[in-house]
Amino acid sequence: MAREQAPVSSLVLAILGLLSEQPRSGYDLRKVFATTAMGQFSDSPGAVYPALKRCAKLGWLRSETHNSGSLRPRQVFSLTARGRTALAALLSRPVMRRDLERRPDELLLRFAFSGGILGRRGARRFLTGYLREVEASLADLRGQAKSIGKIPPCVRLAMEHGIEGYETDARWARRALKEL
């Protein structure tokens, strides 16, 4: 009786993952997005604060207010039990080809958090799915590269970029599977 999973943006996934590590305020989250390797996500208030509100409304987050007398109280958010369940469900989704092509960063984000939420088993399951899709895409790209006849050098180089990127992804996934 699995409930349908509402589509969740990468930003929400990042927020849930970060809050699963420790409670943070909206501003804390924005700083993470602005200054760390998670710079792919928006640190703009117009994205972060509404996202936090949506998650709170879904019951995934609770907030604790500091300086409640102040006009600008600081709100610190943390994951609820339901939020943790929702995060686990999001992280457990099978790796789809579409994700690999359209939002590869989100996939790596899922992997980074899956260790803490799903454990080694979950992380390994992710990696096998990831490797499967990478290899499928690689085969596809190689096939296309062969079947196209004469193409301009820049187009050929761009395709080779894609192929080499997937090869690197596959090597990484195999190594990660050995390490875990």
- Closest by CA to 107, choosing from 120, 93, 118, 119, is 93
**CB 174 to a second copy: min, Å:** 12
Query: What is the Cα–Cα distance from 124 to 130, expressed in whole angstroms?
Result: 10
Least separation, in Å, of the C-beta of 148 and DNA? 19
- Local structure of 77: helix, strand or coil: strand
- 52 near DNA (CB under 7 A): yes
Is residue 58 within the footprint of DNA (CB under 7 A)? Answer: no
Q: Tell me the window of 8-16, 121-129, 138-146, 163-171 that interacts with DNA (CB under 7 A).
A: 8-16
Facing residues of 66 across strands? 74
Residue 56 contact among DNA, a second copy, none, beta carbon within 5 to 8 Å by kind: none
Lookup: tokens for 121: 């088993």
Residues in touch with a second copy (CB under 8 A): 36-37, 39-40, 101-102, 108-109, 111-116, 123, 140-141, 144, 152-155, 157-162, 164-165, 167-169, 171-172, 176, 179-180
Q: CB of 80 within 8 A of CB of 106? A: no
Shortest distance (Å) from residue 162 CB to a second copy: 6
- Residues 116 and 53 sit within 8 Å (Cβ to Cβ): no
Residue 1 three-state SS: coil
